[in-house]
Chains A and B, each alone.
Chain A
């Protein structure tokens, strides 16, 4: 069975400082991992994905994440937070099951950016 744990339900950073959103996963197979962002009253947008290629994945809006198998982690980082980054972030693990993707969402991390 797969699972994903987002270690912080709420993260607050000052504008211009680094962002770190933590995610740990468990999976019986070689997982695919995703980070999605959701702004208030909006749908989810893919930030980046890991699918067994390079372990350091670059995404949109300056975000990146590093897949560390030994630590079963896929933490999301950004060097410098912008006010527009304030949103809910979901870490997602996916594997193949019965011909479709079984997708498990983390509980989400709310990122607050302080001016």
Chain B
């Protein structure tokens, strides 16, 4: 199974809502990532989890809160978002870098988020 799944596919939320994005992989990967992608731009790294611990936070506003409940799941909790946060949110996973060398990342299909 080389699939990364993300739910929901689409999400529309108001600026006062709280919602969560979910990501799951069953490849035994120990590194998981959240990216934000605006239209016609490359993905921008938001967070990296390595062995279920947050290892990188690329100065993301606190209205985005990641969580890694176990080695297969990654959540992104959203609260009080702004319209400019509307984007495609991509999850990815890879074998943990230090042990596996420069492993490729496997991406999910993304969640298309619209903040109204």
Instruction: Give me the interface of A with B, judged by CB distance under 8 Å.
Output: 31-32, 34, 36, 41-46, 49, 51, 90, 94-96, 98-101, 103, 105-108
Complex CA–CA separation, A51 to B100 (angstroms):
11
A107/B56 in contact, CB under 8 A: no
A103/B50 in contact, CB under 8 A: no
Of A32, A42, A45, A99, which one neighbours B98 at CB under 8 angstroms? A99
The 5 closest A-B pairs by CB, nearest first: A32-B102, A105-B42, A43-B107, A44-B107, A101-B97
- Complex interface: chain A residues within 8 A of B55 (CB): 98-100
- Complex interface: chain A residues within 8 A of B45 (CB): 103
- Complex interface: chain B residues within 8 A of A98 (CB): 55-56
- Complex interface: chain A residues within 8 A of B101 (CB): 32, 51
- Give 12 CB contacts A-B under 8 Å: A46-B105, A51-B102, A90-B43, A94-B102, A96-B97, A96-B102, A98-B55, A98-B56, A100-B96, A101-B97, A103-B45, A106-B42
B41/A49 in contact, CB under 8 A: no
B42/A43 in contact, CB under 8 A: no
A41/B112 in contact, CB under 8 A: yes
What is the CB-to-nearest-CB distance from B67 to chain A, in angstroms, rounded to a whole number?
Answer: 18
B90/A43 in contact, CB under 8 A: yes
